[in-house]
């Protein structure tokens, strides 16, 4: 197994660990607190909470992975284009910035989903 396959395997393992942490953290904390009052936390211990938490983890994680992959590909091409023609700096910079914007869009979607997770106000 070469270094590239090891890196991808570690990324997959890390993503799975993050998903399990989100599932067990949100469900575990809500279950622990809901043990004190069984009726107040029925809505907060629902499948909707878990689905929203998984959606947040996937939107941020996959958008960052997609952005990294695109930036690796585009960045390599931009550097080789800049070595041949220095006038292509703005075009190369623009394409790399668009790759970075992909991660920002995923973060925005994650924040929007995160605000929809129900929380107990008292």
Q: pLDDT tens digit string along 77-110?
A: 888 888 888 888 888 888 888 888 888 898 898 8
Q: pLDDT tens digit string along 14-67?
A: 888 877 776 666 655 566 555 555 555 555 667 778 888 888 888 999 999 999
Is 7 contained in some domain?
no
| Distance between CA atoms of residues 99 and 119, nearest Å | 34
Residue whose pair of structure tokens reads 């390599």 in the numeric block:
76
Helices assigned H by DSSP within the chain: 3-34, 47-84, 89-114
Is 107 contained in some domain?
yes
68, 69, 87, 98 from 90: Cα distances, Å: 20, 21, 8, 12
Is 60 contained in some domain?
yes
Q: How many domains are there within the chain?
A: 1
Q: Which domain holds residue 82?
A: 53-117
Is 69 contained in some domain?
yes
- Does the pTM surpass 0.85? The reply is no
CATH, residue 99: 1.20.20.10
């Amino acid at each position: 197994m070469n270094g590239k396959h090891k890196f991808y395997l570690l990324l997959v393992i890390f993503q799975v660990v993050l998903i399990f942490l989100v599932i067990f953290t949100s469900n575990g904390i809500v279950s622990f607190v809901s043990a004190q009052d069984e009726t107040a936390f029925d809505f907060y211990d629902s499948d909707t909470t878990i689905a929203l938490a998984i959606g947040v983890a996937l939107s941020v994680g996959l958008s960052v992975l997609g952005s990294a992959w695109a930036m690796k590909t585009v960045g390599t091409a931009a550097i080789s284009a800049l070595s041949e023609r220095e006038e292509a700096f703005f075009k190369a910079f623009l394409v790399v910035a668009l790759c970075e914007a992909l991660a920002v869009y995923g973060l925005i979607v994650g924040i929007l989903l995160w605000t929809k997770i129900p929380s107990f106000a008292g």
